[in-house]
Structure 1
């Protein structure tokens, strides 16, 4: 029996009163009877639910459902959305992001013509407070092409390093092929732990070179801190994917590209760890190094050498060289690296404090 909708749009929302109206205003006018919209209010303490209900009343022609639940976190919200969805394909949209005009019609055309397991799209980094920093992000596949080679699907996916749950529209059957609930709860970066596993089960992917959405970048707040768990979860997220890739028997090429993105995640977490108190930061960095080595398919020297030689797919050879150099320095506990990171974090903290002071004066 065919699904009643081509696409289920799932919007997780938590205390989203300041954004949800704008988010839904960019979805509802473009919906047809082929689309359903599921908004999950995850125990909001503001007027999120009331705003969604008002939008639904104003657009009775749209299949919009509001699900309200006690706060359970983003991973469980995604699990509930998957359980409730009835469409052939799943599209996640965060409650503060903006779906781009015309994209649902383009997705429907691709689905009708090719019925791929996954559709990859571009997006934009959107800085509402700094329009000069806005930039388009493109995927590395050949435009308007149906990819059926498993290595290409995964190699490009890992080389692009955009592991967001919303960056690809994937058939609901792929999600359902896993033991449920799919998204791991009680940890951060749940999409990083799941999206590679989904792509590993996709036999076809179509690259639609149009912007799916504007991905809102929030001004950095002085109150936003990086915790030890944040650093650990960020580094370990791909480790949850590794067994699934091993079971799928992925090629040496995919393993190398996986190891490259693991290296990027590791050095990102190491840099963030310098925001932690001294002793805590040192302990966390020792743990991160153990997690990093355990997550790799190969050795650090193998993947870092290939990043340095330019033998892997890449969006930026310059970034690869810098990341490889910094990973080597972090593994060697380089004094120069430690000094630079400590100084860098102090400068960024001063800059955030300056921004806060300027906002308070405005």
Structure 2
């Protein structure tokens, strides 16, 4: 059942039947990950049954990733595997492409340099047998080189087992923690479809725009307080290196959250911790990185977004927001040379 964007052979009745039974689609976007993609895929392939499919999106890799992918999946031709080859468009576009073709009731988003813990399968699969659950959240361990060298335990799961969300305020713990890693959860695909939610193409910090929206539309969340994914540490990750685009895309994330909140006081209050984190991150980048500047148009856009939540900020922060261009320019002027 190996396929490219469309199956290699004509679909049979049996193939269609299997596709209609898919419970979980694992989506793996890949860009120049030849050193890691095999390990990533081997954390999925041996555990696949006829209710699980694997969707690999080769996002215009210029290294040997494509050849490694083909070689790795070659021994699993009896599994439901789809490979999409596309011109490089970024991780958001790759995830969106995978989501668009996924046939599963639930989606898991696995980055090509990370991999599932074997316990992922025995913990998550029984949970999603309950189709009323919208999101399954779990933790991760970040490692450097070897899994024995754990850099950080990433506690993304804030809920304990099954929780029915009856009001937006019940989501506050998730927004306070603000760990919106897309791969630390499994999602019902209907959340993306019914509410027209996609990852913003061409943007960094795409998780801050997308995952909160999925939570706001969820009725049932299931938390697993275990590390079910290995997250690889990279010294050159976007959190370790600075680009001017970082600031602009953080402003975009703040704008997106402002649109989510609109005039709903309860939603504003829930989202506020994530917005505050974005604002603090922008200030930190301006102070830490010599030469970093936020264009005036972006400063104004950020101010408009922050004004949506100004009622929840402390008085000192309110002043910063009201006089934002002056405040940010002062930061730039007096930062350490």
Give the structure-2-normalised TM-score. Answer: 0.81
Residues 335 and 68 (structure 1 numbering): CA distance in 2 closer, same or farther, change over 3 Å?
A: closer
Aligned equivalent of 1:271, options 265, 284, 297: 284
Alpha-carbon distance, 1:132 to partner: 5.6
Structure 2, unpaired ranges of 5+: 1-16
- What do residues 82-116 of structure 1 show as CA deviations (whole Å, max 9, x unaligned)? 11100000110000011111212321211124630
Aligned: 1:305 with 2:314:
yes
Question: Does the CA contact (< 8 Å) of 1:226 and 1:273 recur in 2?
Answer: no
Could you say what secondary structure the match of 2:203 adopts? coil
Aligned partner (choices 207, 210, 216) of residue 194 of structure 1: 210
Q: Any conservation in 2 of the 1:124–1:137 contact (CA below 8 Å)?
A: yes
Aligned ranges for residues 1-362 of structure 1 at < 5 Å?
A: 3-113=20-130, 115-128=132-145, 134-139=151-156, 141-179=158-196, 182-220=198-236, 225-246=241-262, 250-252=264-266, 254-274=267-287, 277-278=290-291, 281-282=292-293, 284=294, 289-296=299-306, 298=308, 300=310, 302-305=311-314, 333=327, 342=336
Q: 1:162 to 1:225 in 2, by over 3 A?
A: closer
Structure (1/2) with the larger helix percentage? 1
Cα distance, 1:136 vs structure 2: 1.9
C-alpha spacing 1:148/1:189, structure 2 compared with 1 (3 Å): same
Deviates more, 1:78-87 or 1:131-140: 131-140
Mapped contact 1:30–1:102 kept (Cα < 8 A): no
Q: Considering only aligned residues, what root-mean-square deviation do their CA atoms show, in Å?
A: 3.3
Q: Which runs of 5+ in 1 are unaligned?
A: 309-323, 344-362
Structure 1 residues 241 and 140, CA gap change in structure 2 (3 angstroms): same
Taking structure 1 as reference, are residues 111 and 250 closer, same or farther at Cα in structure 2, changes over 3 Å only? farther
Kept in 1: contact 2:141–2:151 (CA 8 A): yes
Q: Is 1:117–1:205's contact at 8 Å kept on the other side of the alignment? A: yes
Take 1:131 and 1:106, find their aligned partners in 2: how far apart are those partners? Answer: 22
